[in-house]
Amino acid sequence: MVLFLTFPEKKSVKKQLSKRAYTCGGTGGHVYPIIAVAQELSDTECIFIGSENREDSHIIPRYGYHFKSITASNKSIFKIITGFCQARKILKQEKVTCLISSGGYLTLPVVLAAATYRLPIFLLEQNVIPGRVNRALSYLATLTCLTFEESRSFFKTQKLIVTGNPVRKIFLEDPQFKWIKEIWRPQFPTLLVFGGSQGAKSLNTLFFEHHAHFVNSQMCLIHITGKNEFDGIKNQYKKIPKSQINIMPEGCLIKNSKGDIKIILMPYFEKMDWLYENVTWVVSRAGATTLAELLYFNKKAILIPYPLAKDNHQVSNAQAFIKQGQGKWIPESMLTFERIIQSIESPFPTEKEPFHKNARECIANLIKEDLLCTHK
């Protein structure tokens, strides 16, 4: 089957369209940068085009944005064509003036649909090693915004600019935030551990196995397991003495013999800016959005790149982060609890390359400037 793309005259589109559209992959790493840009470009109406049942379909409406889903696949050409037709219909009905995309296979039919209307297209690339979809679609883009300078060599187009990865202006207050704010007062140095929006089984298991270190030391642990992993880890904690654990709807508390809260276990947490401001160190995967937030909030971090990531891109992310942030990284094959504690206790390098803290504002201004020029 051959897919024919038709490109109408740009003038007719300008008269008909008056709204921005955003599209992204289904995981938090793609969703949050695009939300950050939308928060900065709050002066116009917008619509998000996403998946039917992945994380984007749950996260984006919570931020108050109009969301429409399309069929998507990274394997089936028939589903891609269906998604393309659905996206094209949405763009026309919603009278869209430009498209901002943060990558992922879901964005392929949406960007192609926008190209048939000759809309300005802005791509955001979060990782050092760009995703295959962004690499392929960069030829259609008005501009591709890179997080890292190292990404340039992967693109053949010259329409590139290094902006950094945008961080949200507003983080939502979810039930976990309201709960933890009421019950916990930071009184010990605190380690935050999380594995990204999907969770990380190896990190979850490692920190449960060494939970006694936090119960018996002058250090606290805030452990975000990921929704899929939470029940399994919670059940492991049920094996410790009942006097030490308090299980609540929002999460679990583990206390020492004096009644001090030493471990807080949660499935998920939305208001990450508050956590970053109240913890001492972070142990996490090396997803691009996580790294952007660590840089933005200037946190000391031990990174454990996900070893099965495409093109091993999380290792490249971690290496790039260390040039700019207060970070170290440990391959998962060499990961031990002792190595993490040693990394935390040893000095972090201080001389760093500059990073783009104002990525959100930079990208928003580039989009505004282009649209002003387009409509003159």
The letter for the amino acid at 1 is M
- Identify which of 37-46, 81-90, 235-244 has the greatest average pLDDT: 81-90
C-alpha distance from residue 27 to each of 213, 282, 312 (Å) = 33, 21, 17
Residue 204 and residue 175 in contact, taking contact as beta carbons nearer than 8 Å: no
Q: Where are any strands of DSSP class E within the chain? A: 19-23, 46-50, 67-69, 96-101, 121-125, 143-146, 160-162, 190-194, 220-224, 245-248, 251-255, 261-266, 281-284, 300-303, 327-329
Residue-wise pLDDT tens digits, 157-183: 899 999 999 999 999 999 999 999 999
pLDDT at 363 over 80: yes
- In this predicted structure, what is the pLDDT of residue 27? 86
What is the value of pTM for the model shown?
0.89
Residue 350 phi, psi (nearest 5): -110, -30
Distance CA 214, CA 361 (A): 40
Residue-wise pLDDT tens digits, 321-340: 999 889 999 999 999 999 99
What number of other Cβ atoms are within 10 A of residue 139's Cβ? Answer: 12
- Crossing angle for the helix pair 359-374 and 28-40, to the nearest 10 degrees: 60
Residue-wise pLDDT tens digits, 188-218: 999 999 987 677 889 999 999 999 999 999 9
Tell me what the pLDDT averaged over the chain comes to: 89
Higher pLDDT, 186 or 37: 37
Q: Which domains does the chain have, with CATH numbers?
A: 17-164+358-374 (3.40.50.2000), 175-345 (3.40.50.2000)
Question: Could you say which DSSP state residue 66 is in?
Answer: -
Among 60-69, 108-117, 144-153, 304-313, the least confident range: 304-313
State percent of the chain over pLDDT 70: 93
Q: pLDDT confidence of 80, banded at 50, 70, 90?
A: very high
Distance CA 178, CA 164 (A): 31
Residue 24 and residue 56 in contact, taking contact as beta carbons nearer than 8 Å: yes
C-alpha distance from residue 61 to each of 43, 51, 127, 166 (Å) = 18, 12, 25, 19
What number of other Cβ atoms are within 10 A of residue 109's Cβ? Answer: 26
As a whole number, mean pLDDT of residues 274-303 equals 95
pLDDT at 372 over 70: no
Distance CA 376, CA 371 (A): 9
Q: pLDDT confidence of 10, banded at 50, 70, 90?
A: very low
Distance CA 199, CA 44 (A): 35
pLDDT at 356 over 90: no
Side-chain-facing half-sphere of 34: CA atoms under 13 Å:
33
Q: How far apart are the first and last CA of the chain?
A: 40
- With a CB cutoff of 8 Å and minimum separation 6, the contacts of 346 are none
